[in-house]
Amino acid sequence: MSPFNNLPTGVDSQLVARVLDNCKIVSEKQGVKFTEFLDPFHREFIRPLVANFFGVRYLEDGGYAGAEKQRLAIFPDYYSPADIEMPIAVLEIRLSDPTRVLSHRDYLGAIVGLGLKRSYIGDILTFAGGAHMIAAREIADVVRSLGEVHKFRAEAVEIPPYSIRWEEQPVRTISCTVASVRLDAVLSTGLGMGRSKAAELIKGDKVKVNWRQIVQPGFQLKEGDVLSVRGRGRLELSLVGGETKKGRIRIEVKKFS
């Protein structure tokens, strides 16, 4: 039986296998290996695996302080972390219209359309007229060939990490009551659709909670949980309040554009 058969729900077994293979290579050959960009859920799962691997250490970097997606450098335990240079590039994507604000998924779709793997793309920080994108150094040249985003002419140029900037995403706050804080109920509220349609998205592997794939419509959420919906953006269950006289629960859901 494969040692990866009993992993927690939502953990990418192939990703874990690649990380452990990197640990073995570093331990045996004394080199440095780098992972793809990992979300917070997978980093939390992988950290103890790497830390418990004999003779290796790791560090994380996503291109700027507080980055959501980060790469791991895995190296021999006698190396100094200060000597490790993470292969990350920061690129500024400039639109032909300097006033236009496009969404994260607009930029991601254009970049993936170049034939690049999503896992080699880090955070994308949007602002009026463009975005800053963190990418694996290995794909930077391809990203620089970008010519269009959402029907707007665009160019991508590499910039120094200290130039990174972003603007707060527009947020819509939805206040309502639900019978329970089930995933399908909150998703239905946040996306303005029926519970059955929300359940279809969940069962279709299109919804993550705190970066973990969830396929149970009845999964119970808690305040602060972040929902990522493929192709539809992100929601946050920002408040779980008290009950109404009819026994329903007051909630607030933030919808990020």
Find out whether 50 and 24 touch, Cβ atoms under 8 Å.
Answer: no
**Is residue 1 very low, low, confident or very high in pLDDT (cuts 50, 70, 90)?**
very low
pLDDT higher than threshold 70 for residue 4: no
Query: How much is the average pLDDT of 176-204?
Result: 93
- Residue-wise pLDDT for 79-119, tens only, equals 999 989 999 999 999 999 999 989 888 999 999 999 999 99
Residue in this structure with the two tokens 């920080």, named with its chain if needed: 125
- The pLDDT value recorded for residue 30 is 87
**Is residue 230 very low, low, confident or very high in pLDDT (cuts 50, 70, 90)?**
confident
pLDDT higher than threshold 60 for residue 3: no
Domains and CATH numbers, the chain: 13-83 (3.30.1370.160), 88-163 (3.30.70.330), 171-256 (3.10.290.10)
Find out whether 69 and 123 touch, Cβ atoms under 8 Å.
Answer: yes
- In degrees, rounded to 5, the angle at the alpha carbon of residue 50 between the alpha carbons of residues 211 and 214 is 20
Tokens encoding 41 = 């859920």
> Rounded to whole angstroms, what are the CA distances from 98 to 73, 95, 128, 203?
36, 6, 6, 40
- Residue-wise pLDDT for 133-186, tens only, equals 999 999 999 999 999 999 999 999 999 988 887 666 667 899 999 999 999 999
- Residue-wise pLDDT for 43-87, tens only, equals 999 999 999 999 999 999 999 988 999 999 999 999 999 989 999
Query: How much is the average pLDDT of 186-210?
Result: 93
- The pLDDT value recorded for residue 5 is 61
Region label for 214, one of left (φ > 0), alpha (ψ between -120 and 50) or beta (otherwise):
beta
Residues 96 and 236: their CA atoms lie apart, in Å, by 32
Which alpha helices (DSSP H) does the chain contain, by range? 13-29, 40-51, 104-112, 140-143, 183-191, 195-203
**Is residue 241 very low, low, confident or very high in pLDDT (cuts 50, 70, 90)?**
very high
Residues 192 and 176: their CA atoms lie apart, in Å, by 12
